Amino acid sequence: MRIAVVGSGYVGLVAGACFADLGHEVILVDNDQSKMTALRNGQVPIHEKFLPELLTRNRGTRLQFSDDLKEAVRVSAAVFVAVGTPPTESGEADLSYVESVAREISGAIDDYKVVVEKSTVPVYTSEWIRRIILRNGTDPELFDVASNPEFLREGTAVTDFLFPDRIVIGCDSSRSAEVLREIYAPLTGATYYHRAEAIPQPDRALIPPPLIVTSTKSAELIKHASNAFLAMKISFINAVASVCESVGANVNQVVHGIGTDTRIGSRFLSPGIGYGGSCFPKDVMAFRAVAREHGYDFRLLDEVMHINEDQRHRFLRKVNSALWTLRGKRLGVLGLAFKGGTDDIRESPAIAIVQSLLQQGSKITAYDPAGMERAREVIGDHITYANSSYEAAHDADALLILTEWEEFANLDLGRVRQELKYPIVIDGRNLYDPEAMAAQGFTYYSVGRATSHPDGVPAAVLKNGKKA
Ligand code: UGA
């Protein structure tokens, strides 16, 4: 199948590379010529596991890069639209990029094509795309608009694409459904998984993945509702963590107790400093806005957002309660990316926290395995960038853990203690066991669990935050 993918951001690039790996002929289109040249020359613009391998084996053969949208549409049977839908001031999704692509596509349709929304868009977008294409003079018999939402997590996007829990295609005609079925046949027929060069199968993979065929409107809603539900799970457990702190319970134990109920499940119940990234904050807001526009006041989502915001403030209060005033204090920060496994810092709660700490006059030395370059574009030289966790901890009044990178969960704690001026760790991601931290000589603050203190240190010393 010949496929055009419009937009070479996270979604477009991963989808394009994966479609090519499934055996399709893919043209990835973007009007950013320098990006296309860089991709052609072998550069990989994002930090994404297995993407370099996929690009290397398909680049120049089954995967081409172009800035000529019309030509790509002409030669393709399906056109996936994966351009950005950033939030407007009022929280709605800005669909102007989608509209301009729809307009451009319409001029190039000379035989039957399926135009597929891949970007996260509000319900009714497919109808608008259809109207725009018709308005520009295209014969209604020559195209259908379908919706094929993505459920890719950054960092594991390639695996999520090739080993999905489900594939959702929203189609209002059997003709368009047929095209999409064929595109995903290597996965739904499981032939892809038998190939020697297929990427490694993750735990819990459902093979073959189910294909769910819905109307386009339902598919659009599935995407928003999935992200809103996952965000709600995170806010729910963050709220429970706050109650745990008030009553002296342990949120990890609570998560274990509720997550083992198969109706609830334990995934996406990790408390922390709130969700971030380019999806949840934007999509919860956009879903809220689209519901309101269509007459439903989805107040539950207001609370999801409110709890998320509050979670950062609670963490900042913890820093204050550990260190009292912050002016002139040196803080080591581990993590700037919005989550582990990615260099993405968009809507990162870690960045928001760092900015608040800077406002309070603290001096920050931060380390992130992948996110520092991007962080520098936002924070500039207001902080110092370290080459390792230990360098970030050096001579700091406390060490803050803000991103759930695996390497932060496996630190040499003896070395961390030696580097720190005071053995205080404030962990926004619950990467360590409070008792084990106390045994290692730390005062350890985390989320939804009691603060632990170094074994055998008098309370007065602790209150002053002095070295054990
Ligand atoms: C999310 C969804 O998980 C994907 O299914 C979806 O396709 C994607 O958005 C999208 O719409 O494109 P992503 O934003 O990459 O993926 O990241 P997640 O792994 O979902 O994490 C989002 C945020 O929630 C991160 O800040 C993470 O640290 C936080 N989180 C996640 C928690 O605080 N607790 C958890 O239990 C899980």
Secondary structure tally for the chain: helices H, strands E: 18, 14
C-alpha closest to that of 19 among 84, 116, 144, 103: 116
- Is residue 112 within 8 A of residue 173, CB to CB? The reply is no
Domain boundaries, the chain: 2-214, 216-468
Q: Which residue minimizes the CA distance to atom 19 of ligand 1?
A: 153
Question: Can you tell me the mean pLDDT for 162-184?
Answer: 97
Ligand 1 site-directed mutation target among 121, 159, 165, 234, most atoms within 8 Å of CB = 234
Structure-block tokens of residue 195? 């190939």
Phi, psi angle pair for 445, to nearest 5°: -105, 140
Q: What local confidence, expressed as pLDDT, does residue 176 receive?
A: 98
- Distance separating alpha carbons of residues 253 and 363, to the nearest angstrom: 35
- Quick one: pLDDT at residue 456? 60
* CATH 3.40.50.720 is right for the domain spanning 216-468: yes
- Do 2-214 and 216-468 come out as alike in CATH topology? yes
- Rounded to the nearest angstrom, the distance between the alpha carbon of 280 and the centre of ligand 1 is 7
Checking if the pLDDT of 366 tops 60, the result is yes
With DSSP H G I counted as helix, E B as strand and the rest as coil, what are the percentages for the chain, rounded to 5?
45, 15, 40
**Looking at residue 384, what DSSP letter applies?**
E
User: Do residues 116 and 81 make contact, with C-beta atoms less than 8 angstroms apart?
Assistant: yes
Per the listing, tokens 């170094």 go with: 454
CA 292 to chain centre: 25
b vs e for 318-351, b when ≥16 Cβ sit within 10 Å of the residue's Cβ?
bbeebbeebeebbbbbbbbbbbbbbbbbbbbbbb
Reduce the DSSP state of residue 247 to 3 states and report it: helix
85 band by pLDDT with thresholds 50, 70 and 90 = confident
- pLDDT per position as a tens digit, 387-428: 999 999 999 999 999 999 999 999 999 999 999 999 999 999
pLDDT at residue number 129: 95
Give catalytic status of residue 279 as yes or no: yes
> Can you give the pLDDT at residue 467?
39
On the CB side of 191, CA atoms within 13 Å amount to 9
| Average pLDDT estimate for 309-334 | 97
Residue ranges of E strands in 67-177:
78-81, 113-117, 143-147, 167-170
Task: Report how far ligand 1's centroid is from the alpha carbon of 78 (Å).
Answer: 28
Terminal-residue alpha carbon distance, the chain: 66
Pocket of ligand 1 (CB under 6 A): 120, 150-154, 227, 230, 234, 268-270, 272, 275-277, 279-280, 283, 338-339, 404
Ligand 1 centroid – CA 349 distance (Å) = 12
- The confidence score (pLDDT) of residue 92 equals 83
Q: How far is the CA of 87 from the centre of ligand 1 (A)?
A: 17
Q: Is the bond preceding 208 in cis, omega lying within 30 degrees of 0?
A: yes
18, 171, 244, 279: which is the annotated catalytic residue? Answer: 279
| Cβ neighbours of residue 340 closer than 8 Å, sequence gap 6 or more | 155, 403, 404, 405, 406, 408
Query: Is 50 exceeded by the pLDDT of residue 312?
Result: yes
Q: What is the pLDDT of residues 443-465, one digit of tens each?
A: 999 999 999 999 766 454 444 44
The pLDDT > 90 percentage for the chain reads: 90
Q: Does domain 2-214 have CATH number 3.40.50.2300?
A: no
pLDDT of the residue at 93: 81
State the CB neighbour count (10 A cutoff) for residue 243.
12
* pLDDT tens per residue, range 204-217: 899 999 999 999 99
- Listing DSSP states for 412-460 in one string gives -HHHHHHHSSS-EEEETT--S-HHHHHHTT-EEE-SSS--B--TT--HH
How does the average pLDDT of the chain come out, rounded?
A: 94
Cβ–Cβ contacts within 10 Å for residue 240, how many? Answer: 18
Please give the single-letter amino acid code of residue 197.
E
Task: Give dist(CA 106, CA 90) in Å, integer.
Answer: 30
